[in-house]
Each structure stands twice: as C-alpha cells, then as structure tokens.
Structure 1
Amino acid sequence: MDKIVNSFKYASRGILYVYKTQRNFRIQLLILLLAILIGLLLNISSAHWVMLLIVSCLVLTLEIINTAVENIVDMITDEYHESAEKAKDAAAGAVLLASFFSVAIGSIIFLSYIF
C-alpha cells in the first residue's frame, strides 16, 4: 500500500512542479477552466464533454512531458548540441500541435451550440 501512496505522492509532486514553473501549463489550465464554464453555459452533451476533456488532458499531459524532456536534456548537457535542440523542439511541437487541434475541436463543439 505504501508503494501506491508514494506513487501518487511523486506524481502529484511532478504535476505541482510543472504548475509552479511552467507559465504555459498555467495558461492551459485557465483555458480548460474557461472551456468548462462555456460547456456548462451551453449545456453541451456528454459526448462533447468527453471529447473536450480528452483533448484538454492531451494538451496538459504533453506539456508535462515537454517539461520532463527539457529537464532531462538540460541535465545531460549545458552546452549547445543540435540533437538537444531537436529533442526540445519536437516535444514543444507536440504540445503546439495538440493545442491547435484542441482549439479546433473546442471551436467546432461550441459553435455548434451557438449557431
């Protein structure tokens, strides 16, 4: 049982670290809260809630992974290295791509209730 409790403790500590250190993560959380508010106001369907929460979770999860990649690369080398730059850029690109699709999906969902 202690291993399970410790697993949750370590995972929570990681999420809190990302929250405290990554401005984009905090912005993404605010956008999620705004999306939840809009979803409540528009009374969106259960299926639309599921879609909205999946894409939001994807963005937040990728931001956490991006932070992990950046920290690992920074730990390995302080000097510029093209491979390090590519790793960081690829991780950031994953967040950006998921964010674009998240906005697109959210827009499609919300606009279908407005118009």
Structure 2
Amino acid sequence: MKQFIIGRIKSVKYAAKGMFILATNEHSVISQLTAGILVTIAGFYYDLSATEWAMQCLCIGLIVTAEGLNTAIEAICDYLQPNFDPKIGFIKDIAAGAVAFAAFFALIVALIIYYPKIF
C-alpha cells in the first residue's frame, strides 16, 4: 500500500512538471492559456451560470490538453525522424487538426454563452 501511495505521488509530481514545462515553454499552450484567462475574466464580468462555467472550463481544458498532446506528438515525430518525411508531416497535420477541432467547437460554445450577454 505504501509503495502504491509513493507511486501516485511521483505520478502527480511528473504531471505537474509537464504542466509547468508546457505553460512556460510552448508558445501555443501559452497563447491558449492566455485566452483561457481572458475568457475567465469575461466570465466573472458577465456573471456566468454554473452550467456556463462548467462548459467554459471544459473547453479551456480540452484545448490546452489537445495542445499538449499535439506538442508531445510533434516532439516524438521530430525525435524519430528529424528530416522531412511526408508520413511524419501527415501525422503532425492530423495532430494539429485535432487542436483545430477543439478550438472550433470551443468557439461555438463561447458564442452560445457570450453572444446573448454582449448583444
């Protein structure tokens, strides 16, 4: 049991390290976190309901998660194949497309939440 708890503590430590690396080194993640902070400020200004907060937080989390996974996939691809390779390009494009899907649907959620409040 003690070993299990120690293992979980180490896992949390590694995850926190990864979050810190993403939040301080990856420009795409920094941009998305900045946007997340701005819409959080807007959420306080427009007094979002609990459901609206939940949807907004889920969207922010989804986009930052997608960006983190995209960054990891790109790093693996670059490590395995540092030279241009069309198959690697295909993989990277798919990963970037996943981020674009997340951002697109988050934008729809933002419009559903904020359009009636602003206009």
The C-alpha deviation readout for 1:82-111, integer Å capped at 9, x for no partner, is: 111111111111111211221221122011
Partner of 2:57: 53
Correspondence list, 1:1-115, <5 A: 1-115=5-119
**What is the alpha-carbon distance in structure 2 between the residues aligned to residue 19 and residue 2 of structure 1?**
26
**What is the alpha-carbon distance in structure 2 between the residues aligned to residue 114 and residue 73 of structure 1?**
43
**What is the alpha-carbon distance in structure 2 between the residues aligned to residue 16 and residue 25 of structure 1?**
11
- Which aligned segments of 4 or more residues in structure 1 are displaced greater than 6 angstroms? none
The C-alpha deviation readout for 1:49-73, integer Å capped at 9, x for no partner, is: 1111111110000000001101111
Aligned-residue offset at 1:77? 1.2
Please, which runs of 5 or more residues in structure 1 have no aligned partner?
none
C-alpha root-mean-square deviation of aligned residues, in Å? 1.1
TM-score, with structure 2 as normaliser = 0.90
Other structure's SS at 1:78 match:
coil
Is residue 44–residue 113 contact of structure 1 (8 Å, CA) maintained in 2? no
Other structure's SS at 1:48 match:
helix
Q: 1 or 2 for the larger relative contact order (CA 8 Å, sep ≥6)?
A: 1
Identity %: 30
Please, which runs of 5 or more residues in structure 2 have no aligned partner?
none
Letter in structure 2 aligned against 1:61: T
Is residue 18–residue 25 contact of structure 1 (8 Å, CA) maintained in 2? yes
Aligned-residue offset at 1:21? 2.1
